[in-house]
Every structure is written in C-alpha cells, then in structure tokens.
Amino acid sequence: MEEFLNKIRQCTICSDQLPLGPRPIVAAHPKSRIAIVGQAPGTKVHESGIPWDDPSGRQLREWLNVTNEEFYDETSFAIIPMGFCYPGKGRSGDLPPRPECAPEWHESLLRKMPNLKLVILIGMYAQKYYLKENSKKNLTETVSNFKEYLPNYFVLPHPSPRNRFWLKKNPWFNQEVLPFLQDAVAANLLD
C-alpha cells in the first residue's frame, strides 16, 4: 500500500493544469474501514499536506462525530479526493476536481482496502462518479434519499462554510441525516 500511495503522491498527469503545481493529497491503509471521497484539496490543505485541514474538515469531523485523532487514523478512515491536487480558483470558489485522478487511481486504491465497510461520498462530483445513473437530478434530492445508497455508500453535501445557506434551507439534514450518519460511522468503526 505505501508503495502505491507514494506512486499517487508522485503523480504529474495534469501538472501543467495546476496553478500551484502537483501535490497529491491522499491517506489510506489496508485496514481502513471507511473511505471518505471528497472533491479536491483547497489552498490550505495544499500548503499543509494534511487532508481536510481546514474549516470544511472541522465541520466534517463534527458531522461524523469523531475526534481529530480518530479521523486521521488511517486504519479507520481513508481519505480519497476526486482530484488529488488543488485545481485552482473559479468564479464562485475552487474549480472542479481534475477529471484524470479518479479514473487513474480510485479503483486500484479501493481494491487495496479489503476491510472497507462504507464509502462516504461528499458533494456532487463524488456522487455522480460513484452512483452514476442512480444519483438524483441534484445534490439535495440525492442527499434526501441517502438510505437508497446504503449500506455501501453514504451521501453528503460538502461541509464547506459556503454551504451554510443550503444547511439552513434544509433543516432535515441535521435532524434526519446526521444522526443516521453518526450511527453508521460508529457501527462501522466498531464492527
């Protein structure tokens, strides 16, 4: 596994498309039980090299009801972005994840983790890639129908502070989805 992760971390497939250059961010272990498939690292994560080392990561850990220590224990959580490097800035936030990463690396990486019990798909890029035609017409519909994708996948919106309006508009997420998510995470980590 470590050799494969090093290969990912040396990737330069799309280096000419990256404003800050390549710095693939990934964390995994053969014993990982839950995989978190997010979008792509932001500038803060690009600088630190630590996945989810930003306000979105703090919110995600709160949603999962786990400590920093639990979250960064690779035997518990694998962290696999759709795009491993910071993609650049767009008009209303970061650009979408680079499309080369997931097809190049995800399948092989997931096969190296035979103990995976749950894959958490964060945001529409991960959901469209993994759920394909089973994703709904938009993120809200996909997340509101989260039980359809269990036990293999758990779908979430992005925990970015930019999504505070979505969270306020959809109070059912905190009331119905988060308790179910926390129970699923706890059960899969103990199982």
Cβ contact 98:17 at 8 Å = yes
User: Residue 191: what pLDDT?
Assistant: 67
**How large is the average pLDDT for residues 80-89?**
96
**Could you say which of 1.10.10.10, 1.10.420.10, 3.40.470.10, 3.30.450.20 is the CATH number of the domain covering 2-190?**
3.40.470.10
Q: What confidence tens digit (pLDDT) does each residue in 47-67 have? A: 999 999 999 999 999 999 999
What is the pLDDT, as a whole number, of residue 151? 94
Chain segment 138-155, per-residue pLDDT in tens: 999 999 999 999 999 999
Entry pTM: 0.96
Q: Confirm if 63 and 159 have CB atoms less than 8 A apart.
A: yes
In the numeric block, the tokens 């850990």 are attached to 61
Question: What percent of the chain lies above the pLDDT cut of 90?
Answer: 95
Q: How many CA atoms lie within 13 A of 72 on its CB side?
A: 10
Please enumerate in sequence order all residues whose Cβ is within 8 A of that of 187, keeping only pairs 6 or more positions apart, or say none: none
Question: Cα angle vertex 101, ends 97, 104, to 5°?
Answer: 160
